[in-house]
C-alpha cells in the first residue's frame, strides 16, 4: 500500500503557511524518518496524514484514493503525550476495549500486565501508558503508523522497550511507519529512509 501527502499546503492562520506544497510518501514495510527543525510543521503534517486536520490545498491518498472521513482510520497517529491522548476517567481496560484490541496475545506483545487494566491512567507510568496508546492504534485495519516523538519523555530503557514493541508490530503486520523525532541516532537506527521537510512557512 502507498500513503501519500500530495502538494499539501496548510496554515493555522489566514495568509500564513506552515506547509506549502509539501509531498511525502510511505509504502507498506517502509520506515520513514521525517526530519526538520522545531516548528517547521512535522506534527502538523502528521495530523493531516492521520485525518485530524484538513489541508488547505492538496490531498492525502491511500493507494491513490482519498481516505473516507468516517469509519476506521487506517493511518494511526501516536503522540508524545499518552496522558493527553487517553481519557482520564476510563480504566485502562476500557481504553483497550474502545480500540477493539483487547486480547491476551496483544497484551503480551505490548508488555501490558493484567493488573494494570483495573487502573486509571494517572496510576501508570508514561512508559506503561504509551503501551496502551500503541495497543489502541493497532486495530486490524491499521495500515500505517505515525510515531510523533513517542519516546522523547522516557528513560533509555523504556525507549528501547517501546521501540521494540513498535518495530515488531510494523514487521509482523507489514505496516508503513513514519517516525518524527529530534533524535537523529534513533532515526538512523529505526528508519529505512529519511525525508527532510523544508521551511516553507518562514520564506
Ligand atoms: N493549533 C495550533 N494553532 C496555531 N498554531 C499552531 C498550532 N499548532 C502548531 N502551531 C504552529 O505551527 C508551527 C508548526 O508546528 P508543528 O508542531 O507542526 O511543528 P514541529 O515541526 O512538529 O515542531 P516541534 O519539532 O517543535 O514539535 C509552529 O510555529 C507552531 O507554533
Local confidence band at 203 (pLDDT 50, 70, 90 cut-offs): very low
Specify if 202 maps to a domain. Answer: no
Kindly state the DSSP code that residue 71 receives in the 8-state scheme.
Answer: S
**Per-residue pLDDT tens digits for 32-70:** 999 988 999 999 999 999 999 999 999 999 999 999 988
The atom of ligand 1 lying closest to the CA of 41 is 18
Nearest CA to ligand 1 atom 2: 12
The atom of ligand 1 lying closest to the CA of 13 is 4
Specify if 201 maps to a domain. Answer: no
pLDDT at 199: 58
What spacing in Å lies between the alpha carbon of 42 and ligand 1's midpoint? 8
Specify if 92 maps to a domain. Answer: yes
Specify if 203 maps to a domain. Answer: no
pLDDT at 201: 47
The H or E element that residue 162 is part of is helix 156-173
Pocket of ligand 1 (CB under 6 A): 12, 18, 36, 38-44
Asked whether residue 158 carries a pLDDT value surpassing 90, the answer given is yes
Higher pLDDT, 151 or 200: 151
Q: How many CA atoms lie within 13 A of 53 on its CB side?
A: 22
Nearest CA to ligand 1 atom 1: 12
Nearest CA to ligand 1 atom 24: 38
pLDDT at 102: 76
Backbone angles phi, psi at 171, to 5 degrees: -70, -45
Q: What is the CATH number of the domain that holds 100?
A: 3.40.50.300
Contact 95, 86 (CB under 8 A): yes
The atom of ligand 1 lying closest to the CA of 46 is 18
Average pLDDT, the chain: 93
pLDDT at 202: 46
pLDDT at 200: 53
**Per-residue pLDDT tens digits for 77-125:** 999 999 998 999 999 999 888 877 778 899 999 999 999 999 999 999 9
List beta partners, residue 92. none
Total structural domains within the chain: 1
Specify if 79 maps to a domain. Answer: yes
Nearest CA to ligand 1 atom 9: 44
Specify if 116 maps to a domain. Answer: yes
ipTM over 0.85: yes
**Per-residue pLDDT tens digits for 120-148:** 999 999 999 999 999 999 999 999 999 99
pLDDT at 128: 96
The pick from 5, 9, 13, 18 for probing ligand 1's pocket by mutation, whose C-beta has the most ligand atoms within 8 angstroms, reads: 18
The atom of ligand 1 lying closest to the CA of 44 is 18
Contact 171, 101 (CB under 8 A): no
pLDDT at 60: 98
**pTM for this one?**
0.94
Specify if 19 maps to a domain. Answer: yes
The atom of ligand 1 lying closest to the CA of 36 is 21
Its domain, for residue 96, covers 2-196
Amino acid at each position: 500500500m502507498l500513503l501519500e501527502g500530495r502538494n499539501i499546503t496548510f496554515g493555522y492562520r489566514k495568509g500564513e503557511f506552515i506547509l506549502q506544497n509539501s509531498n511525502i510518501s510511505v509504502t507498506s514495510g517502509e520506515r520513514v524518518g521525517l526530519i526538520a527543525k522545531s516548528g517547521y510543521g512535522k506534527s502538523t503534517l502528521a495530523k493531516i496524514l492521520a485525518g485530524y486536520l484538513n489541508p488547505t490545498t492538496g490531498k492525502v491518498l491511500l493507494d491513490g484514493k482519498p481516505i473516507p472521513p468516517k469509519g476506521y482510520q487506517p493511518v494511526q497517529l501516536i503522540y508524545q503525550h499518552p496522558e493527553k491522548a487517553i481519557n482520564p476517567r476510563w480504566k485502562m481496560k476500557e481504553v483497550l476495549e474502545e480500540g477493539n484490541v483487547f486480547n491476551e496475545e496483544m497484551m503480551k506483545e505490548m508488555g501490558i500486565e493484567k493488573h494494570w487494566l483495573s487502573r486509571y491512567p494517572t496510576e501508570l507510568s508514561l512508559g506503561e501508558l504509551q503501551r496502551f496508546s500503541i495497543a489502541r492504534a493497532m486495530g486490524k485495519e491499521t495500515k500505517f503508523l505515525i510515531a510523533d516523538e513517542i519516546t522523547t519523555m522516557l528513560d533509555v530503557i523504556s525507549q528501547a522497550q517501546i521501540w521494540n514493541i513498535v518495530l515488531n508490530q510494523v514487521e509482523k503486520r507489514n505496516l508503513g511507519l513514519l517516525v518524527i523525532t529530534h533524535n537523529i541516532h534513533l532515526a538512523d537506527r529505526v528508519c529505512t529512509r529519511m525525508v527532510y521537510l523544508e521551511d516553507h512557512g518562514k520564506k
